[in-house]
Amino acid sequence: MREIGLRECLRSLKMKRYSILKYILVIILFFLISPLQVWASDGVFTIENAKSKVELNEQFSIEVYIDSDGEELILSRAALIFDQEYLQITKIERNEGLFCGWDSDRQTADNDNGVIVIEGYCQSGTSSLYSSSDGGDIFARIHFKAVKPGFARIDWEYNGENVEFKSAMMAEGSPPQNILKQRPSGVTVEIAEQRATTVPRTSVWDRSGVGLGVLFIAASIAAFMILSVLMLTLKYKSLVSYNTIVIGEKTQSDKNRKK
């Protein structure tokens, strides 16, 4: 009986040991099969330097920043949507030094549907794969024009997968992993009616009484000229009258002499 009990005890210990080894093997295999999913850093897209309020017909820009947190990327795609009723794209500038290629057929700037796609890529294994420094880098600068008063939203297209028209950051690996784990934050821009243009009051009449002084001088000159004209007129009339009297007297004396 004692031998049977000892055997059962040893068998039980072996089973427990096998179970522990099995769990350890499963954990090791998990780490070996999916190391990137466990250890890969999170990539981030952000919108910077966006105005919260603009005026109608005003042009402004936003900057799209990319931060791979040290991961080397073979592809980065920023897919955004905007209210085309309120905003229109005027220009898009890419930081083309970040990636090897920016194929034109992968870029979208659609004012009719309010869609923007900016995509850069490099072939896996190349020595020039993008990896962001502290704080990230400017990925692109997008210029808009405000075309209607109201509130315009600029947001991101994202579903966590590397598919067309969806934001993604693909880190090098086998297979490549999307390290953009969360939807980036969008922004709202208020578009106000244009304020009435006021002409600056720069006339001399508003400069600390200078206008009154100029007006007084002008009035004084005008009064002096009027008085001068009146005096000349009176003097002329008096001269004419004197000459008439003198001439008349001479004429009368001549008559007496003739008599």
Containing structural domain, residue 217: 204-248
For residue 89 the two structure tokens come to: 């794209």
The separation between CA 42 and the C-alpha centre of its own chain, rounded to angstroms, equals: 26
Residue 74 near residue 128 (C-beta atoms within 8 A):
no
| Amino acid (one-letter) located at 8 | E
Q: Answer yes or no: is 69 within a domain.
A: yes
To which H or E segment does residue 155 belong? strand 150-156
Is residue 181 a part of any domain in this protein?
A: yes
Report the C-alpha gap between 158 and 155 in whole angstroms.
Answer: 10
Q: What's 118's domain CATH number?
A: 2.60.40.680
Which of residues 156, 171, 192 is at a domain's end?
192
Range with the lowest mean pLDDT among 70-84, 149-163, 174-188, 233-247?
233-247
> What pLDDT, on a 0 to 100 scale, did the predictor assign at position 230?
72
> How far, in Å, CA of 188 to CA of 154, rounded?
6
Asked if the model's pLDDT at residue 121 lies above 70, the reply is yes
Same-domain check for residues 154 and 45: yes
| Same-domain pairing of 165 and 59 | yes
pLDDT (average), residues 150-176: 97
Residue 57: inside a domain? yes
CA distances from 148 to 152, 192, 228 (A): 9, 8, 65
If asked whether residues 27 and 134 sit together in one domain, one would say no
Assess contact for 74 and 170: CB atoms under 8 A. Answer: yes
Query: Is the same domain home to 138 and 229?
Result: no
Max Cα-Cα span within the chain? 199
Q: Measured between alpha carbons, how far is 26 from 161 in angstroms, rounded to an integer?
A: 27
- Does some domain include residue 44? yes
If asked whether residues 134 and 233 sit together in one domain, one would say: no
| Residue 173 sits in the same domain as residue 219 | no
Q: What is the pLDDT of residue 12?
A: 64
Supply the mean pLDDT for the chain.
80
Q: What size, in residues, is the chain?
A: 259
Interval 145-161 mean pLDDT: 98
Claim to verify: residue 24 and residue 45 sit in the same structural domain: no
Kindly state whether residue 117 falls inside one of the protein's structural domains.
yes
Amino acid identity at 131: S
Note whether residue 199 is domain-resident.
no
Tell me, what's the pLDDT at 43?
95
- Domains in the chain, number: 3
pLDDT of residue 242: 43
Residues 169 and 221 in one domain: no
Q: Say yes or no: 185 and 91 in one domain.
A: yes
> Are both 74 and 165 inside the same structural domain?
yes
Residue 198 lies in a domain: no
Q: Is residue 228 part of a domain?
A: yes
The structure's pTM equals 0.63
Give start and end residues of each alpha helix (H) in the chain. 2-33, 35-39, 210-258
Q: Does one domain contain both 229 and 178? A: no
Work out the average pLDDT over 224-247: 60
According to DSSP, the residues that pair with 65 across neighbouring strands are 46, 138
Could you tell me if 100 and 181 lie in one domain?
yes
**Mean pLDDT within 136-163:** 98
